Amino acid sequence: MSTQDRISFGETEERTMLRDTLRRFLSDVYSDEQRNASLATEHGMSSEIWSQLAELGVMHALFDEQVGGLGGHGYDMATVFEETGRAGMVEPLLENAVLAGGLIADLGTADQHALLEQVMSGQHQLAFAHAEPGSRYDMSRVATTVKPDGSGFVLNGRKAVVANGSAAHSLVVSARSAGPDDAEAGISLFLVPADMAGLSMRGYPKIDGGYASEIELDDLKLPGDALLGPSGEAFPAIEARICAAIVAVSAEALGAMETARQLTIEHLKTRTQFGRPIGKFQVLQHRMADMLIEIEQARSAVLNLAAALDGPRPERERHASATKNLIGRVGRLVAEESIQMHGGIGMTQEYALAHFARRLVMVDHEFGDTDHHLERFIAFSQARV
């Protein structure tokens, strides 16, 4: 069936149940106070929330059945992350269950897979240390080196803005064994316990919640079994997992848009100026209408990519870039318009909108921004003619 003839958009009984369960759980427990409490902890996450998410099977829904999960498809990611985005959840689900955990699932040996059980049960934290100070959004630019060292390896280099780095018990680290800095060939992945000598990090808070780290690898010595997947050929798996991460953050942004929309509608209905609710003013009505239309576009873009995630690479990546470009634009629009229509109160950190506006804008700084993906969409489109 061609894209045009789709009618179901991935809706199944299981996903409807997952959505309902997660939405109910988060609307019960994940208040603004809970978010602030999560953010006030050392690593920006609540251990209670984290173990409850694990009990609900949210992480299982994001992993493939072959590694003990229950889903792991594009629509599963879209379902889960729309809800976490709607609640403004800051706990590091993406880092654990999509990026580092996903790479372990895709590439790991049976021994390495064993770790995933602890991840899914919420007892083990992961991070993906891939981007570097000079790599910006270029997925294949890896200057960190790996050299043989007896039966093992030695790594040297720096990793940038590693989300959940400081909380992680283990990290998935990329390093280059061959080729120029930006070559797709020659990249390997390693599964690294966080407490290894030779690995040091500086942790810091993110503007949109949670923590990240700058990491230095200084003669980090690893045993031979630390290698994750085939030596020098990790790029296709990295690209595919970043594509899954784009599904996740796009869906998360969609959820955040829905909340920003709801907050803004309430404000327009209740805020009175010049003797009437400001929603009576047509100039604001029309801005609201434009926002609503674009949010529908964002939902469609998320569904398009969720459908393409399990498909062949060129179409998958073309859709990834289309969706991320659109989400970047709409996310910024919704954040800026919501702040503007709120007026002064929209500027305050205390008001709920603040978190959603920050997150919506910062999503554009993860896994490639609007311009990066526009350029990439063009490249993939031209390649298919």
- Name the site residues for another protein (rule: CB under 8 A): 1-9, 265, 268-269, 277, 279-280, 282, 285-286, 288-290, 292-293, 296-301, 303-304, 319, 322, 325-326, 374-375, 377-378, 381-382
**Between 60 and 261, whose beta carbon lies closer to another protein?**
261
**Between 58 and 251, whose beta carbon lies closer to another protein?**
251
What does 110-142 look like in DSSP terms, one character per residue?
A: HHHHHHHHHHHTT---EEEE---TTTTT-TT--
**Between 358 and 376, whose beta carbon lies closer to another protein?**
376
Residues β-bridged to residue 163: 212
**Between 119 and 308, whose beta carbon lies closer to another protein?**
308
**Between 121 and 381, whose beta carbon lies closer to another protein?**
381
Question: Where do the DSSP E strands lie in 184-271?
Answer: 187-193, 199-205, 211-222, 227-228
Nearest to 62 by CA among 82, 79, 85, 49: 79
- Total residue length of the chain: 385
Shortest approach of another protein to residue 280 CB, angstroms? 6
Shortest approach of another protein to residue 121 CB, angstroms? 36
Residue that is written with structure tokens 């106070």 in the block? 33
Shortest approach of another protein to residue 303 CB, angstroms? 6
Shortest approach of another protein to residue 271 CB, angstroms? 12
Shortest approach of another protein to residue 265 CB, angstroms? 6
Shortest approach of another protein to residue 300 CB, angstroms? 4
Contacts of 56 (CB under 8 A, 6+ apart): 21, 22, 25
Residue that is written with structure tokens 């031209």 in the block? 382
**Between 12 and 300, whose beta carbon lies closer to another protein?**
300
CA distance 363 to 85: 11
One-letter amino acid for residue 247 of the chain? V
